[in-house]
Amino acid sequence: MLNKELIKKYVSISKEVKEALDQGKPVVALESTIISHGMPYPKNAQTAYECERVVRENGATPAIIAIINGVLKVGLTDEEVDYLAKEGRKVAKVSRRDIAHIVANKLNGATTVASTMIISEMVGIKIFATGGIGGVHRGAEATFDISADLEELAKTNVAVICAGPKAILDLPKTLEYLETKGVDVIGVGTNKLPAFYSSTSNYNVAHRYDEAESLAHMLSVKWELGLNGGVLINNPIPKEYEIKAEVIDEVINKALAEMNDLGIKGQEVTPFLLAKVVELTKGASLEANIKLVLNNCAFAAKVARALNKDK
Ligand code: PSU
Ligand code: MN
């Protein structure tokens, strides 16, 4: 955590989140790249509000994180959410490497999983819900495209609840990377790694947990033992909303081929592929994405509550 002086200097925590943190109540962090770069307007704004509602409904306080005019914001106003949603991909996508630049120059930025974890840790938030994380991209042996999210999971003490790495990535390579870095990969109610749009895949998670309570207890033990780093908690999309692997794989292969033809690289890769998959599925992937994020928000709130009780 940052000390009080530095929090004052760089961070602005909303009244609701500050009260919850001061009183030791459960808080769930939410990222903002998913708003600006992960979904189109106006579904992105609606989904952000829904996420906040679902976290509250499940007994925790939501804290959407972003950088506004160079200030690290924890808990956004509706106007700030609307701004990030409307501006979309014009807002800078901020990962670890970009934070100092955006803050020093008083700019705006949407935070990725990596930077949302960093800012969560600065203020003492342990639980973070999102849709999907970045990982090792297909073809990484040639491009070296490995998301900074994985490195962050290796060192920052925040548990990330997602629906699994999506099939735009190389799943087995992502798992190998996480294993090397000492990141536990949990399946919620499953031994198989969920694959974002699909509830399952052919790959095994490291450990399975069926309840928020036992999972929260494991997190307490990990951090009490000084085993720094995050945990990747993979919560499968509910079956009624999933898109079968065979269907989504074909779409992803088309999107990847188009990406390679256009020569898209670096930070643009993930937003391009997400938007392309939405277009090719005529919006079906977006609906699945929204459902799985809300499902993760509900589970994250339960884990945050259980973690507070376990202390
Ligand atoms: N996966 C999704 N939706 C998203 C992202 C990933 O299903 O919006 C975003 C997250 O913010 C994640 C980032 O941290 O993309 C990863 O980008 P990159 O692969 O460039 O590290
Ligand atoms: Mn990348």
CA distance 287 to 291: 6
**143 CA from centroid of ligand 2 (Å):** 9
**266 CA from centroid of ligand 2 (Å):** 5
Beta strands in 207-280 (DSSP E): 207-209, 231-234
Q: Which of 149, 237, 281 to mutate to test the pocket of ligand 1 (most atoms within 8 A of CB)?
A: 149
Taking 80 as the threshold, does the pLDDT of residue 311 lie above it? Answer: no
Q: How many domains does the chain have?
A: 1
Ligand 1 pocket, residue 302 CB under 6 Å: no
**299 CA from centroid of ligand 1 (Å):** 20
Active site residues: 31, 166
Residues 209-235: tens digit of each pLDDT: 999 999 999 999 999 999 999 999 999
Identify the CATH number of the domain in which residue 20 sits.
3.40.1790.10
Contact 61, 23 (CB under 8 A): no
Task: Quote the Cα angle for 168-188-301, to 5°.
Answer: 100
Q: Ligand 1 atom closest to Cα of 137?
A: 19
Q: Does pTM surpass 0.85?
A: yes
* 235 closest CA partner among 280, 296, 289, 298: 296
What pLDDT was estimated at residue 218?
Answer: 98
Residues 63-104: tens digit of each pLDDT: 999 999 999 999 999 999 999 999 999 999 999 999 999 999
Domain range for 209: 4-310
